[in-house]
Amino acid sequence: MTPTRSRPHLPLLAPPRTVLAALALAAHACLPQAALAQDYPTKPVRLVVPFAAGGTTDIVARVVSNGMAAALGQPVIVDNKGGGGGAIGSLEVAKQRPDGYTLGMATVSTTASAPAINKKIGYDPLTDFTPIINIAATPNVVAVHPSFPARDHKAFLQALKANPGKYSFATSGNASIGHMQMELFKSLTGTFMTHIPYRGSGPALNDTVAGQVPIVFDNLPSALPFIKSGQLVAIAVAAPQRLAQLPGVPTFKEMGLVAVNRMAYYGVVGPKGLPRPVVDKVAAAIKRTAESPEVKKRIEDTGSLLVLNTPDEFAAQMRAELAVYQKVVETQKLTLD
């Protein structure tokens, strides 16, 4: 009888390559984050846009994402998570591991206007994120559907004053810069309009162009094509001076509304605790692409200014902007109810 040799259930000796891979993995897990950051990125990077497609946040993210991917050597996937005036997508970024694989677009709405008024927003814009770079500052615009009985700011004010509560305005969401600035406009001009919030400027613009809502407050990059095509009529812009793109349209400052004359901004942040080497790599990738003549032109053609500041400068800017909106909320006694 030949003795039966029982086969071991598991190989006693793992193939050497598997052992090495397991050791490497274990060693990797023990490495400090800064060391891991040297290899970053080794897989695709998700860039959360906390507004719907078609708005300026989405436009800026998509304009830089290809060049950013080329510079980082990994795909950059733009992920639209609209809602709550940008709060939903921003909260999602704040909750991720600070490994650089989830980044988010940060705007004046998500870092200043919304946190200033929404006490239940769920994140602190100054401590729950790592600022990376502010990409661009954009003018804002109030525009109307061509059926609205006004073509300029004087007639616009007259129409509002003669019909309190008759008109509504669309914005990119509750507590967004559009919402906040229009509440400020109402308070300073003694007018009344009803706010209609959307998941971003994309859908807000669509409904205004379709005539569902007569007025929209938006950032210029997304609104400009509709103004140029005559589907919307620009009434006033928030910009330091009149824009080459809309020379006939006055600034809010010219209307005597200096407080409404504030630009919007679009930057990139990570969750808090993002290692500095990751911050520097992402910032350098964005800077490189935004400074390329083609991307620079695409951004500047919308009346926007490239900012491309340092993480510390961006942090200071967020702090200052939050303080501005906190003051607006306090002095105008604005509430979300």
Q: Which of 72, 103, 108, 285: binder of ligand GLU (CB under 6 A)?
A: 108
Pick between residue 59 and residue 257 the one whose CB is nearest to ligand GLU: 59
Query: Could you tell me which of 11, 18, 75 has the C-alpha nearest to residue 41?
Result: 75
DSSP label at residue 266: E
* Three-state secondary structure call for residue 17: helix
Q: Is residue 101 a contact partner of residue 245, using CB atoms and an 8 Å limit?
A: no
Lookup result for tokens 């969401």: 173
Contacting range for ligand GLU; rule: CB under 6 A; set: 1-9, 121-129, 173-181, 229-237:
173-181
Contacting range for ligand GLU; rule: CB under 6 A; set: 11-19, 38-46, 129-137, 200-208:
200-208
Question: Minimum CB separation from ligand GLU for residue 308, in Å?
Answer: 18
Q: Residues in contact with ligand GLU, total (CB under 6 A)?
A: 18
Pick between residue 40 and residue 266 the one whose CB is nearest to ligand GLU: 266
Judged by CB under 6 A, the chain residues 204 through 243 that form the site for ligand GLU are 219
The HSE-up count of residue 337 (CA atoms within 13 Å, CB side) is: 2
Question: Minimum CB separation from ligand GLU for residue 82, in Å?
Answer: 7
Q: Which of 80, 90, 102, 107: binder of ligand GLU (CB under 6 A)?
A: 107
Beta bridge partners of 304: none
**Residue nearest ligand GLU by beta-carbon distance:** 55
Binding mask 251-280 for ligand GLU (x = CB under 6 A): -------------x----------------
* Three-state secondary structure call for residue 37: helix
SS (H, E, C) 191-240: CCCEEEECCCHHHHHHHHHCCCCCEEEEEHHHHHHHHHCCCCEEEEEECC
Query: Could you tell me which of 235, 246, 230 has the C-alpha nearest to residue 146?
Result: 230
Pick between residue 176 and residue 309 the one whose CB is nearest to ligand GLU: 176
Question: Minimum CB separation from ligand GLU for residue 40, in Å?
Answer: 27
Question: Minimum CB separation from ligand GLU for residue 291, in Å?
Answer: 23
How far, in Å, CA of 309 to CA of 324, rounded? 20
Binding site for ligand GLU (CB under 6 A): 51, 55-58, 86, 107-109, 172, 176-178, 200-202, 219, 264
